[in-house]
Structure 1
Amino acid sequence: MTSAKERASVPRHVTITGTRSITAQAETQLTGLFDDYLRPFADPNATFYLGGAAGIDTSALDWLAEHTQAALTVVVPCTVADQPAVAGEAIHRWQRGGRLAGVVELRAEKLGSSAYHARNRWMVDRSGFVIGFPQGSDSTSGTWYTVNYAADQGKPRLVVPV
């Protein structure tokens, strides 16, 4: 049987994916949701991959940077300069504060669904676990695409509707 201390020393790589559109009601609930569903996986040996977009990506980045010691890597489909202003500001703020383990710019030629899907596959391919925060059940959303891609790879997923 593995002890809690041994489990805590095993590196954990987690992808966070979620909606870019957060309702005002959901935004007030995010701190509680992150505390309940991110904190249990955010030990100092964990690495989180975040997409660097507005919405859940930026909110989760801010929460993880403020409340945990986990390593944080932001992955963007093109460059940070191509991200929405609020997301770019958060990335730069945490980069300057020394809180990011890395920023990966995949440098896609064109920003669009295929670039976002490539970014999401990059994160999932390097993770052992995916936490998704979808809004609704639209199977064509990027969040569901990522969760389903992880499922196809046999990786565990946690889905937290917002």
Structure 2
Amino acid sequence: MALFATYLGAFMHSTFYIGGAKGIDSWTLLWLADSTSADITIVVPGTAAQQPEEAQQAISRARKGNRIKEIVELGAPHLSVKAYHARNRWMVDRSALTIGFPHATEPSSGTWQTINYTADQGKPRLIIPV
């Protein structure tokens, strides 16, 4: 959690779009919900109910604390790489800055796709390999 305090703390009054997946998305959601006054929007490619159990639990916990401003369900009929990339583009298109926590050993991950799309749009990005 110190990682989030170091890199997200400076943006504690910002608006965050979070992918609503398990792992880093869920951890980021919980840290932001517990530690900041940031506006939080969860964006999922299909529906929130289609997300993994870990992600659903994180969303539920943040909702109980009234910390989620909005949940955007993009309505993809199938959860595919294409659907996740569309979700990532949706978030970048509405953001002024992308903060990514890519796995250093996975150069072709969705996180890197998002970071590269951000660069293609000429927007700044903060990359924190984990």
Query: TM tier, shorter chain?
Result: over 0.9
From 21, 24, 33, give the equivalent of 2:3: 33
How far the C-alpha of 1:95 sits from its partner, in A, is 1.5
Q: Report the Cα distance in structure 2 between the residues aligned to 1:139 and 1:89, rounded to whole angstroms.
A: 28
Q: CA deviation at 1:51?
A: 0.3
Aligned to 2:114: 146
One-letter amino acid of the structure 2 residue matched with residue 50 of structure 1: I
Larger Rg: 1
Cα distance per residue 1:4-42 (max 9 Å; x no partner):
xxxxxxxxxxxxxxxxxxxxxxxxxxx111011001112
Other structure's SS at 2:21 match: coil
Q: Which runs of 5+ in 1 are unaligned?
A: 1-30
Greater than 6 Å deviation, 4+ residue runs: none
1:114 corresponds, among 56, 59, 82, to 82
**Once the two structures are superposed, what CA deviation does each residue of 1:132-156 show, in whole Å capped at 9, x if it has no partner?**
1011253321000000000000100
TM-score normalized with structure 1 length: 0.78
Please show how residues 10-25 of structure 1 align to structure 2 within 5 Å: none
Flag the structure with more relative contact order, 1 or 2, with Cα contacts below 8 A and sequence separation at least 6: 1
Q: Deviations over 1:110-138 (max 9, x none)?
A: 10100100000000000000011011253
CA RMSD of aligned residues (A): 0.9
Decide whether aligned partners of structure 1 residues 84 and 94 sit closer, same or farther in structure 2, where only a CA change above 3 A counts. Answer: same
Give the % identical residues. Answer: 56
What stretches of structure 2 of length at least 5 have no aligned partner?
none
